[in-house]
Amino acid sequence: MNFIYDQADTIQKREFVNTVFDSNLYYENVVYRTPTMIDLFSSNHLKMKEEV
């Protein structure tokens, strides 16, 4: 995904972020967060929860 994002222009990056994060991405305390997770990343949910 890094390659695709890096090669995209500003409009494409915005569309990608909105698609992946369902327009629920926000910035708080120097960290980007989202209250939802798409199915593609749901397998990493427990691992990410442990790291928090």
pTM: 0.50
How many domains does the chain fold into?
A: 1
- Each residue's pLDDT tens digit, 3-48: 888 999 999 998 888 887 776 778 888 888 877 666 666 666 566 6
Rg for the chain, CA atoms, rounded:
12
pLDDT for residue 51:
59
pLDDT for residue 11:
95
More confident residue, 52 or 43: 43
What is the rounded CA–CA span in Å between residue 22 and residue 37? 8
Nearest residue to 17 via CA among 4, 44, 39 = 4
Is residue 37 within 8 Å of 46, Cβ to Cβ? no
pLDDT for residue 40:
63
Is residue 4 within 8 Å of 16, Cβ to Cβ? yes
Instruction: Please give the residue range of the domain that contains residue 14.
Output: 2-51
Own/partner pairs, 37-45, CB within 8 angstroms, 24+ separation: none
pLDDT for residue 7:
95
